[in-house]
Amino acid sequence: MSNLRQPHPPALLKQHLPGRETVAAGVWVTRGSADESEELAGATHLVEHLTLRRCGGRDRRVMAALIDRLGGDVDAWTGAEMMGVSLSTTADSLGDGLELLVDAITAPSFEVEDVELERRVILAELELIHDDPAELVEEALLRAAWGNHPLARPVIGSAESVAAMDIAALRRHHAELIQPGRLVVALAGDIDGNGALSCLERFDLGSVPARPRLAALEWSTGRETVTRTWADQVHTRIAFEAMPSSDPRLAALSVLNRVLGNGSSSRLFQRLREGEGLTYDIWSGLALRRPGGLLEIGWACAPEVNHEVWKHVLDEVERLPGDLADNEVEVAQEGLLRGLRMDSDSPMARCAMDVTEVLDHGRRFDLGAVRAELEAVTIDDVRGLAESILRLDRMAAALCGPEGCKLPG
């Protein structure tokens, strides 16, 4: 069984999974792009790029060789609310992996050549986003729903903010990110008695991990259109106000999302893809943050049929609360439960779920408890959420497509 006792120190989360060949470890920084000032928009993402450029005195070739020796599954990432570095490897190389994680977080390179190279890489990434309708419409949807809130700002920043950051500001920003109480370390696998964990003492993990308070989200029923003359298809998104990531109704919301558009048996996929053949892909998804969240529906289609797709989608949204069936809820629950079981087999997924449970709910991840919450969801729970969330008068929308395309009235 997993070791689910409260760890000491409080910011070190260990799950002992005996008999596993694979181990996973990660460092989560409880600050993300939404915690930046406008002048430093994208600074956390740039620091993240530097963590695996060079660190702890290793040059880039030594770093690359170490990552490949570990199996190549080493990743750094930045989100709106957190940043992190994680790895999966075999139990016998956990020591090398943890040394790399500690150095990446505490001692990334701020050499001029490294900062300038990663700045160029990020500016190139921004150009790619500028050419990607799917990325542009996602950014537009967040603006339509959340206005000027920091959570609606691109994680990557802007070309202007990235170009303007100097090395001294990046060093100060990094020092702020790794202050005590801002790091969570999670490990999962056959780790009991592994002396390699001693290198984690270089972190100050004695403080209970906490995330800063963000400004309240004010929902907006905005509509945004982005024109790209070269685009062949129209990318459309609509969103409805959901709840914060710590809300106890998330199990029911997950079932609702699954019924609506997250799967091949979902209403939207069956009607628009399998029934009408109007779009290759249509889906729904959740974006849940500390102050609030949204339930999103997205699709891409030919410009001449977008109005027709729009009408079918809104019809399904309106109909769902009234004709939701028991078998739809059962299929969604069963799929979610099996997905949870499969995810919990992955040490890396176990680390991520443990960190999420601690930060959002103040508890360690317990597979049985999460399963019980999903199994307890009733059709009335899902119907009630659908009635309160899927309101067309509270809908935000965004579109990216060729000239002349616009959101239906």
Average pLDDT of every residue of the chain: 94
Confidence of residue 10 (pLDDT cuts 50, 70, 90): confident
Backbone angles phi, psi at 298, to 5 degrees: -140, 150
Does residue 8 surpass a pLDDT of 80? no
Question: What's the helix, strand, coil split of the chain in %, to 5?
Answer: 50, 20, 35
Confidence at residue 112, expressed as pLDDT on a 0 to 100 scale? 96
Confidence at residue 208, expressed as pLDDT on a 0 to 100 scale? 85
- Please state which of the four CATH numbers 3.30.70.20, 1.10.1240.10, 3.30.830.10, 3.10.20.70 is assigned to the domain occupying 223-401: 3.30.830.10
Confidence at residue 17, expressed as pLDDT on a 0 to 100 scale? 92
pLDDT tens profile 396-407? 999 999 999 999
**Residue 324 near residue 317, CB atoms below 8 Å:** no
Spell out the domain ranges in the chain. Answer: 12-202, 223-401
Nearest to 25 by CA among 105, 80, 82, 118: 105
Confidence of residue 1 (pLDDT cuts 50, 70, 90): very low
Contacts of 173 (CB under 8 A, 6+ apart): 36, 40, 43, 44, 47
Higher pLDDT, 194 or 323: 323
Confidence at residue 3, expressed as pLDDT on a 0 to 100 scale? 41
Half-sphere exposure of 39 (CA within 13 A, CB side): 5
**Mean per-residue pLDDT, 325-343:** 97
Confidence of residue 234 (pLDDT cuts 50, 70, 90): very high
In this prediction, what percent of the chain has a pLDDT beyond 90?
89
**Mean per-residue pLDDT, 27-31:** 97
**Mean per-residue pLDDT, 171-193:** 94
Does residue 5 surpass a pLDDT of 80? no
At the topology level, CATH places domain 12-202 in Cytochrome Bc1 Complex; Chain A, domain 1 (3.30.830)
Confidence at residue 6, expressed as pLDDT on a 0 to 100 scale? 44
pLDDT tens profile 81-118? 999 999 999 999 999 999 999 999 999 999 999 999 99
Confidence at residue 210, expressed as pLDDT on a 0 to 100 scale? 84
Contacts of 195 (CB under 8 A, 6+ apart): 95
Q: Are 12-202 and 223-401 equal in CATH topology?
A: yes
**Mean per-residue pLDDT, 160-177:** 97
**Mean per-residue pLDDT, 279-294:** 97
Confidence of residue 2 (pLDDT cuts 50, 70, 90): very low
Does residue 195 surpass a pLDDT of 60? yes
**Residue 73 near residue 172, CB atoms below 8 Å:** no
Confidence at residue 7, expressed as pLDDT on a 0 to 100 scale? 44
DSSP letter for 161, please. H
Does residue 60 surpass a pLDDT of 90? no
Confidence at residue 196, expressed as pLDDT on a 0 to 100 scale? 80
